[in-house]
A and B are shown apart, each in its own frame.
Chain A
Amino acid sequence: TTRTPEFLGLAGNEGLFPQSGTKGDVVVGVLDTGVWPESKSYDDAGLGEVPSSWKGACTGFNSSSCNRKLIGARFFNRGYEAAMGPMDSSRESRSPRDDDGHGTHTSSTAAGAPVAGANLFGFASGTARGMAPRARVAVYKVCWLGGCFSSDILAGMEAAVADGCGVLSLSLGGGSADYSRDSVAIGAFAAMERDVLVSCSAGNAGPGSATLSNVAPWITTVGAGTLDRDFPAYVVLGNGKNYTGVSLYAGKPLPSTPIPIVYAANASNSTSGNLCMPGTLLPEKVSGKIVVCDRGISARVQKGFVVRDAGGAGMVLANTAANGQELVADAHLLPAAGVGEKEGSAIKSYVASDPKPTATIVVAGTQVDVHPSPLVAAFSSRGPNTVTPEILKPDVIAPGVNILAAWTGKAGPTGLAADTRRVEFNIISGTSMSCPHVSGLAALLRGARPEWSPAAVRSALMSTAYSTYSGHGAPILDAATGAAATPFDYGAGHVDPTRAVEPGLVYDLGARDYVDFLCALKYTPAMIAALARGKSYACAENKTYSVSSLNYPSFSVVYSTANSDAAGSAAATTVTHTRTVTNVGAAGTYKVDTPVSVPGVTVDVKPTELAFSVAGEKKSYTVSFTAAKSQPSGTAAFGRLVWSDGKHTVASPIAVTWT
């Protein structure tokens, strides 16, 4: 990717991830739509021999497709064909070849080789490199035009772990089912037992609450944030006003003198004409004009085609309340600009009020050092965690908006069949893009800290994440509202990899801890055995298990308003969580930073000081949460517990909810 290595502080800091001789040997397994092996992002110059432990292969590709960068490529389509019938080989490659682009984008984001002069039609130009540019990549094609079927996903995960991947990256989700019925959660549990870190996208169902996917505590769940880069475009109206939007249009510009502009709802016979759905625009009403369309229902890029095919000269695509002011860029085929909800309303009211409304669109190219950044992406799925409310998710956010990375040679940048353009790099958005950022960072950390468990790697990324802007300390904002975001939006915060490599303390977890968590959820022996392959796992009859005992790097406390008396004032309810931290740095004494404050809740940490004399030493502490009185159901309050030894800060978000 371009820009995100700088944004994450990685560029020029390669030395921070000491070459412990294993970094290059961490293999990131990407379960997605496959790979375009001819992309320069899989160039293997400077990489050593493939690790001798590697058992992967390149099936369905000629052997030259794989090299010391792309060291494995497999495809799994039996479940897909069993469900959908034989695939159409004229449209889909019966091989790991990426017919879509998504898998090439995600795998190169995680561990692509540096490629100078990368850009999309001149936008976002720079040297594109993966988060772990020296890690190896193995792709497991489990997603097809018709979707990603869990029997194929499980087969792909099995192969990836058996081949020797150290990190699995899955930018896919299927809603949050119970862990014992969620194939990704099942595969991820067993992968964790085999010391493999599994990183998954949190979902794009935001900004509504309780919309997360992939919330199993043994999975690293990644939300999306924006970058300090934009692609501004100006919608200049006939009344002289102009509004800033976003555009990746690189073709023949519109004339600088404004041309007629029409709102799609007034150029259609359809009741949903405002959405510019296929077949709904009247050519006689849009020909040669700029058309204002509203986002929703159909893909943004498809709206551009609908306007172009109806003879429109350009498009202004307006956000709805759900997307707020978030500007997601698309490589439209006609002059187009996406605008925020406010700007869209202003433009529509001008179009409605002026007897002869006119406008033009001026594309301004790539702009960097945009602030404030990051914002939580409006589309990024949000907590609370509906499967287990006592586990705070997402874990972190990472760059996921307008990300440039490698693309397939089989589809155009919009992905639509009508788009015959071919590009080497494309700019797309989603938690699909933020997940491989974290997968690549996890590979960097695994290479630098090979002794760390997957849980310790995740803990390091969480406890060093930031939730405020550097300098002025204001909280990270939510693009959907423009207001401060919360841990339900960003989890522990935005990843900060240069600090993650020296986190000071980690919250470690192993398979037995997660089984105890399942025991607390009252899983039956059969459900536990289906998830956890080890036969030795069982719940002890005489033991009391608690979900909040899971040694997670964050806190989520759930009060039931049902416990409060008629007057709504529950007797002060105290909930106590215990945590154990492992020192992974030098000797030091950690103290609780500023007193923890959560509105309406008294937080008491004991002890307030933890002294470590050697690396590997473990210490425990308790946090007691006391709510003086009950709050209305649905209330949430947030805080942050920070331990510090003067050199490291070990931060944990706190979410308290009343249900």
Chain B
Amino acid sequence: TEELRATYIVHMAKSAMPAGYTEHGEWYGASLRSVSGAKMIYTYDTLLHGFSARLTEREAGDMAAMDGVLAVNPETRYQLH
């Protein structure tokens, strides 16, 4: 059965982008593909550097262990006040 997926926000260290890439988006995509077949939901490059995607817990763990990854935060659902 497909492992449960949840959305994670992956924070990348912008300065850690390997030389082979010209665009951060390329690097983010390659990083994601190296652990998961999931599609990217958003890439972020103004307030933070990284992306969001639907990952299994295992994929999230693999992602967190990768070079250049600062944090892999599970998505939070906020409520209106």
Contact = CB atoms under 8 A, between A and B. Distances in A.
A530 B71 contact: yes
A155 B14 contact: no
Interface string A188-219: 00110010000001111000000001000000
A161 interface: yes
A458 B24 CA distance: 35
- The DSSP consensus for interface residues of chain A is helix
B47 interface: yes
Contacts of A184: 78
A184 B79 CA distance: 12
29 contacts: A33-B80, A78-B42, A79-B7, A82-B54, A83-B6, A83-B75, A83-B77, A143-B78, A147-B77, A148-B78, A149-B75, A150-B73, A150-B75, A151-B7, A154-B48, A155-B42, A157-B47, A158-B45, A158-B47, A172-B80, A174-B79, A180-B71, A183-B9, A186-B11, A526-B13, A527-B71, A529-B70, A530-B48, A533-B49
A82 B7 CA distance: 8
Contacts of B45: 158
Query: Which 7 residue pairs are nearest across A and B when measured between Cβ atoms?
Result: A190-B47, A201-B81, A151-B52, A530-B11, A174-B78, A148-B78, A432-B81
B47 A150 contact: no
Given A82-B7, A181-B73, A154 B44 contact: yes
Contacts of A186: 11, 47-48
Contacts of A304: none
A177 B77 CA distance: 12
Contacts of A202: 81
Interface in A476-519: none
A435 interface: yes
A172 B76 CA distance: 12
A474 interface: no
A530 B81 contact: no
A280 interface: no
B78 A158 contact: no
Contacts of B52: 79, 151, 154
Contact of A432 (B9, B15, B76, B80): B80
A533 B48 contact: yes
Q: How large is the interface on A (under 10, 10 to 19, 20 to 34, 35 or more residues)?
A: 35 or more
A151 B42 contact: yes
A203 B73 contact: no
Contacts of A143: 78, 80
Interface in B27-70: 41-42, 44-49, 52, 54, 70
A381 B37 CA distance: 42
Nearest to B51: A151
Given A154-B52, A174-B76, A162 B81 contact: no
A147 B79 contact: yes
Contacts of A159: 46
B81 A182 contact: no
A190 to B, nearest CB: 4
A435 B75 CA distance: 24
Given A162-B46, A184-B78, A530 B41 contact: no
A102 interface: yes
A32 interface: yes
Most B Cβ at <10 Å: residue of A155, A171, A180, A432: A155
Contacts of A79: 7, 41-42, 52, 75
A173 interface: yes
B5 to A, nearest CB: 9
Contacts of B13: 526, 529, 535
A151 B9 contact: yes
Contacts of A180: 71, 73
Given A203-B81, A533-B47, 16 more contacts: A79-B7, A83-B6, A102-B80, A147-B77, A147-B79, A151-B41, A151-B52, A154-B48, A158-B48, A173-B81, A174-B79, A186-B47, A187-B48, A430-B81, A526-B71, A533-B14
B81 to A, nearest CB: 4
Interface string A127-171: 000000000000000010001111101110111011000000001
B78 A154 contact: no
Nearest to B11: A530
Contact of A530 (B7, B46, B70, B77): B70
A183 B75 CA distance: 8
Nearest to B64: A526
A151 to B, nearest CB: 4
Nearest to A381: B81
A36 to B, nearest CB: 16
A360 interface: no
A432 B6 CA distance: 28
A268 to B, nearest CB: 29
B79 A148 contact: yes
A431 interface: yes
Contacts of A527: 70-71
Contacts of A535: 13-15
Contacts of A172: 78-81
A183 B6 CA distance: 16
A148 B81 CA distance: 11
A86 to B, nearest CB: 14
Contacts of A173: 78-79, 81
A533 B42 CA distance: 18
Interface string A72-116: 000000110011000000000000000000100000000000000
A634 to B, nearest CB: 27
A509 to B, nearest CB: 18
A161 B78 contact: no
Contacts of B41: 78-79, 82, 151
B77 A151 contact: no
